[in-house]
Structure 1
Amino acid sequence: MSEKHYDINYLQNSRRLLLNLKERSYTLLKDVTAGTIIDLGCGAGKDVIELAKQNGNNVKVIGIDHDPVMVAQGKTDAKDIDNVSFIQSEAAPLPFEDESIAGLRTERVIQHLKAPQQVVAEVHRILKPGSPFVIIETDWHSLSFFTEFIETEKKINAYLTDIKVNNGFAARKLTSYLAAQSFNNIKAEIHPIVVNTLQEANDYFWIEKIVKEVVEKGFITPTEYTDFYTALQTADEKGYFAASINMIVAWATK
């Protein structure tokens, strides 16, 4: 994985923004009435808990994350829920038998992988025939700020897409990944996420942190940083701040 640009607080903040998108992903797994569902890259486990509530006690939901802090938080929050468990593991290999899993969800994970095809192949291996695979991803190249400093914005996007995130174009490749592993019934939706204050952009996108990192690493000049961020502050103060990014939901069956 790349150096993280998220923590538990970030995940909690972004959860509020992405709640409708998350609920959409849950519905794509609602027909699983028995067996095991995996939430791969589960973070602190909130989605694991919601899936367990949705799908009922006949379905076991397992959260998997490589971060022991996230796994520990999930175990704490779900300690009284019988059909939930957590495993610390990388995304591949996965500790499950061939064709043993009834459904799998993963959110904002593929973007961090240096070998995404390997993980998609591993998911295909463990899923039962006909089982759903649901993916949510961020299209980092779509991040947009409505200022006049377009060239600076392009450099920030390029840093995020090509440097900061291992696989910054993952969202645009999801259907290709699925097709390459012979998944069936492949579908995709675009969900624009819009914020209208600089505080929201900092909470949900970590924009101030990212832009400072971009200038510190020499991808934009200090002058470009000052002009760009001042424009964001001015737009915020005058009430016309706007920023957006596209999220992709893709799903298929084995």
Structure 2
Amino acid sequence: MSTTFGSPRPDAAAYMMRAAASAAGRSYKQELIQLLDVQLGQTALDVGCGPGTDLPTLAERVGVSGTVIGVDRDPVMLAEARRRTSELPAVQIREADVHALPVEPGTVDRAKIDRVLMHVNDPAAVLEQLHLATRPGARIGLAEPDWDTLVVDAEDLDTSRAFTRYTASEVVRHATIGRSLARYAQQAGFTIETVRATTPVFLDFQDADHTLGLGRNMQQAVQDGYIAEVRGRRWFTSLFEKPFFASFTLVTVICSR
């Protein structure tokens, strides 16, 4: 197929930084940090910290007497996180798989996992690790999308629905983790305090194509024989010929140890 079928797959670090800088990204992240209620002198853990977009904010909250630990397994992400926090002595960057957190048991006061559980092998095991790492009274913030709720407006509603089904069944490992967050957290031993759902809205086609992978995921759906090429191209072309709308549900869970 032509490589012009939507925007190319972006660099992972650049993708995460752009998503975090978007209006939708800033909104839910600010709410997540606010609900996390990080205090001076605490130890805060960012599980799957990626390029470190949230580490400076956490460092500001814990102050010079606190500690921020960012954990990720991707060397490219970690290099960017180290660059971003090189002048922040409170921040420690640790390379590890989130299924085996490099943190002493019972030492973490605040922790967050943001759009990470949808990608891991075993979300329940990661939350069990987090329960082990946190101390009694700790507060934990979790945020994950539910890709089964993805909607893309198009006159060809059947193809839009087929695209969402493909995304949820083939593209994302745990596509419905958002709706299951509270259940997973409770099963790991946490007490649920707050559950919120927000709906990021995309009115700009280019922004949506980059963030939601409209073109590249449709191309993969066509290559996999899930959607016919003519049908997929007609649907994709129609998206930028008319006013655009797409959205999905993102779930935030605040819980305590």
- Normalising by structure 2, what TM-score? 0.91
Matched, 1:248 2:255: no
Stretch of structure 1 that moved more, 117-126 or 157-166: 157-166
RMSD: 1.6
Q: Is the 8 A contact 2:42 2:62 kept in 1?
A: no
Give the letter for the 1:191 counterpart.
T
**Counterpart of 1:9?**
14
Does the 8 Å CA contact 1:175/1:186 hold for their aligned counterparts?
no
Matching residue within 63, 68, 81 for 2:75: 68
Q: CA deviation at 1:247?
A: 1.2
Residue identity (%): 23
Residue 133 of structure 2, aligned match among 92, 102, 126: 126
> Offset at 1:79?
0.8
Residues 222-246 of structure 1 deviation map (CA, whole Å, 9 limit, x = unaligned): 12202211220211xxxx2111111
- What does the per-residue CA deviation read over 1:35-93, in whole Å, with 9 as the maximum and x for residues that have no partner? 31111111100201111113322221111111001001111111111101111111111
What is the one-letter code of the residue matched to 1:248? V
Q: CA deviation at 1:206?
A: 2.2
Q: Out of 188, 197, 205, which is 2:204 matched to?
A: 197
Per the alignment, in what secondary structure is the counterpart of residue 129 of structure 1?
A: strand
Structure-to-structure mapping, 1:1-254, within 5 angstroms: 7-17=12-22, 18-235=25-242, 240-254=243-257
Question: In 2, are the aligned partners of 1:178 and 1:186 still within 8 Å (CA)?
Answer: no
Secondary structure of the structure 2 residue equivalent to 1:28: helix
Q: Secondary structure at the match of 2:126?
A: helix
Distance in 2 (alpha carbons) for counterparts of 1:5 and 1:200: 12
Aligned residue pairs total 247
What is the rounded CA distance, in whole Å, between the counterparts of 1:152 and 1:205 in structure 2? 16
Structure 1 CA distance for aligned equivalents of residues 145 and 37 of structure 2: 23
TM-score normalised per structure 1: 0.92
Instruction: Classify the secondary structure of the residue corresponding to 1:248.
Output: strand
Unaligned runs of 5+ in 2: 1-8
Provide the rounded CA distance (Å) in 2 between the counterparts of 1:165 and 1:214. Answer: 13
Q: CA deviation at 1:99?
A: 1.0
| CA-CA distance at 1:144 after TM superposition | 0.8
Letter in 1 for 2:129: E
Given residue 255 of structure 2, which amino acid in structure 1 is its aligned partner?
A
Pairwise CA distance, 1:161: 1.3
Cα distance in 2 between the residues matched to 1:57 and 1:191: 33
SS of residue paired to 1:137:
strand
1:121-172: per-residue Cα shift (whole Å, max 9, x none)? 1111110011011011111111111112222122221222122111111001
Displacement after TM superposition at 1:30 (Å): 2.5
Rounded Cα–Cα distance in structure 2 between residues aligned with 1:45 and 1:80: 13
Deviation at 1:214, TM superposition (A): 1.4
